[in-house]
Each structure stands twice: as structure tokens, then as C-alpha cells.
Structure 1
Amino acid sequence: MVQSLGYLKETASQTAGPYVHIGCTPNFCGIEGVFPTDLGSGPLYNDKTKGERIKVRGFVYDGTGTALKDAMVEIWQADADGFYNSPSETRGKADPNFFGWGRQPGDMATGEFCFDTIKPGRVPFRDSDPRPMAPHILFWIVARGINIGLQTRMYFSDEETANAEDPILSRIEHQVRVPTLIGKRQGDTYRFDIHLQGPDETIFFDI
């Protein structure tokens, strides 16, 4: 018997909700004993890691300028010499004491996220175009109301020369929006706020 094509319906999609934190950061949610620590939590380095220790702090703001208190942020970056901790890294050996990836939920009271990491080195644009990109950190953001995780980058305010040479930043049509990708240095901390909408909307990348 031929099944009616209308019998099976597409499952409704749903934005990121509380299950994101329950599944990805159970200890943060108070669900302890499943894993010793939440995957990606804590510093991205240990006492043997090469490079300058820094913090990256920020908020994820909605279109009204309100900080989201249920966002989850992941970062991915190169080590101090510009190598990724990845099996696909073929240019050289990455620092075995640097993890390169982290995950943090925003503080449930304030919404602020914070990563303890190192300042990354420069990496080539691509194999066919070895121009070095400026030091940067890749960001992935999910939260209630976001259907698909958003991708962006944070560059460094004290890398003006490298930023001016960066092949990605130079391709941005509206150069007045480049500052939305720049983390501002404050001592050993870089402040990087992410705006989902509004006049200061962060540039997001279709990756």
C-alpha cells in the first residue's frame, strides 16, 4: 500500500532554550555528577602553555540593548604561534598545552561571559592565499530566539597594523562597522560585546 505523502509532517523547529544549557553545561545548571566539569569550561591553558595570558569579557545584547542572560558562547582560536589544536592542522605542531576551544554560558544574573585564554598568533588566510590574517578569536553564539548559531570574530584593538592588513577586514563593504569586531584592551582584559541587532549590530559571518 502506498503511503500518503501527507502522512509524515516535518518536525517543528525550535530556538535554543533551557535544554542547551542542560545538555552542554549541566554542572553550571546544577546537574552535578554526570561529568566532573562542563566541557570547554575553565582556562584554555595550563602553566606550560606558551603565550600571553588574557581574559575576554563581554555581553550578548538584543535589539533593545538588553543583555541576554541565557546565551551560551563558544570560542575557537590558534595558539600563540598561529597553529590550531586540530587534526586538520598541517602547517606545524600546535602547542599541546593549549586547548584552543572553550565554552561559557553567560552569567544568569548579569549575562556576562568570560574566557581565560591566550592571545593567538597570526594564521594564513587560506592555502591558496597565504597572506596572514590579524590575530583573532572565532565566536559562536546561541540563545533563546536564535534559530541558527551565529558566527563572528574578535580582533584586537592593539593590533592596528595587522588589522589594517587583514584580508577579511579589508573585504567588509561598510568599513564603519569594522569596530563591531574589535575587542578593546583594558589591562590584561579585552572587552568584546556582541550586539544581535540595532545600530551597533555585530558583523556575523555565513560559515
Structure 2
Amino acid sequence: MNRPAFSPLSSFGPVRYPETASQTGGPYVHIGLAPKQAGFDIFENNFGHVLVAPDTRGERIAIEGRVFDGSGSLVRDVLVEIWQANADGKYAHPGDRQDLPADPSFRGWGRAGADFETGVFRFETIKPGRVAGTGGALQAPHVCLVLFARGINSGLHTRLYFDDEAEANRRDPVLTGIEWEVRRSTLVASRSERDGGVVYTLDIRLQDTPDGGRETVFFDI
């Protein structure tokens, strides 16, 4: 039996469907993605903030930061994921077919929730190598970040660059594609040394804040 194809049009014009209810990434985002931090030990393997092993190649660094909302208040329940190349500029993914050395001891991806008291998120990783971008031009060393939290309908994508890579940053095709220098600076982390280790710090602002902080550049991905 042949059935007529479905059509959104009725004899009286287009059919109007009600809007579905909106939903944000919470308040159970930690239970689903980082349950151990929320007090639920339910996964055999908990994806964490440490991307390195003892024999991972490259300069060991920590990445830290906080996330602020438009009122300047800390977002204490944000969950951050990062994705980066290894020290030679190769990703731990079969889609990366560059003729570069892989590092089996480097995971290349991590997930961390902000500390519920301080609002600080932290990753232990290595400084990534330069990766070729569109047209083969080398990008500056960088880390990709995605933010999830209550009030955010989908993950917010941004990048972290390093302030001690000034020359590479000046030539990076993505960073230089941002029109204003003050906007570019929202993606550049500051290097410091603490307890004998290197720490790069980048605070992220979801909007301009009352203290003069500029909204972080986010990417439409």
C-alpha cells in the first residue's frame, strides 16, 4: 500500500509546532561527566586532569584558571575539557596523519571540574608543539578548551596560547584573525613558576565584567 509522503503543510497552511523546552548543561553535569568530584565513584576509569605519564616527552607544565560570569562572580561548578597536540605537534587521534612522532604515553585530552571552593580548574600536561593549520601554515603552540556549566546551552569553545611564544603568536593564523589586540589578549596565558614547576594561568570571562575584564573570545564550532 502506498502511503502519501509526510508534508508539514495542511490544507490551511503550515503546521505550527510548539517550541521544545530549553535545557542547559546542569545541574548534574559533574555527576555525568566527573562523578568522582561530585562524590560518586561509579566509573572504572575516571577521566581526569592529568594528561601525562612518567615517560611523556616534553616540558611539563600546569594550566590553571578561573571562569567568571557577567557579574564578575566565580563560576564554581564549571567543567573544562582540553585537547592538545603532543610535544612534536601531533594529536593522539587516528585522524592526525602528519608524519610526526606519536607519544603513546601522552593522552592529549583531559577533563577537570573547577574546585567548588576556589573556582580554580587545573591540568597537568606538557607544552604542545606547533601544528600545521589551513594551507600548511604553522600555528603557535596552543590548547583547545571547551566549557560546560549550568546556564550554557552548548559547550563554549576557546583556545589558550602562551605568553612566552610571542613571535609564534604574532604569526598564528587564528590569533591574528581576531581584529583587536585587546581581544587577542583574552586567549594568552601568563607563565609563572611555583614550587619548582611551570604554571600557565588563564582566567576566562563569559562576558565583560564590572572590573574591566574583557569577554574571552569564543569560537563558533
- TM-score, normalised to structure 2, is 0.86
Contact 1:124 1:130 in 2 (8 A): yes
Match of 1:65 among 69, 72, 88: 72
Match of 2:127 among 79, 104, 119: 119
Match of 1:25 among 34, 37, 43: 34
Kindly report which structure 2 residues correspond to 1:1-207, keeping only aligned pairs within 5 A, or say none.
Answer: 9-32=18-41, 34-39=42-47, 41-92=48-99, 93-126=101-134, 129-187=135-193, 188-198=198-208, 199-207=213-221
How many residue pairs get aligned? The number is: 201
SS of equivalent to 1:107: coil
Greater displacement, 150-159 / 63-72: 63-72
- TM-score, normalised to structure 1, is 0.91
Letter in 1 for 2:111: R
Distance 1:42 1:194 in 2: 18
Q: CA RMSD in A?
A: 1.8
Q: CA deviation at 1:78?
A: 0.2
SS of equivalent to 2:110: strand
SS of equivalent to 2:122: strand
Unaligned regions of 5+ residues in structure 1, if any?
A: none
Q: CA deviation at 1:10?
A: 4.9
**Runs of 4+ in structure 1 displaced over 3 angstroms?**
8-11
Letter in 2 for 1:194: I
Identity over aligned pairs, percent: 50
Distance 2:29 2:137 in 1: 37
Letter in 2 for 1:191: T
SS of equivalent to 1:80: coil
SS of equivalent to 1:59: strand
Contact 2:64 2:199 in 1 (8 A): yes
Distance 2:43 2:95 in 1: 28
Larger radius of gyration: 2
Q: CA deviation at 1:11?
A: 3.4
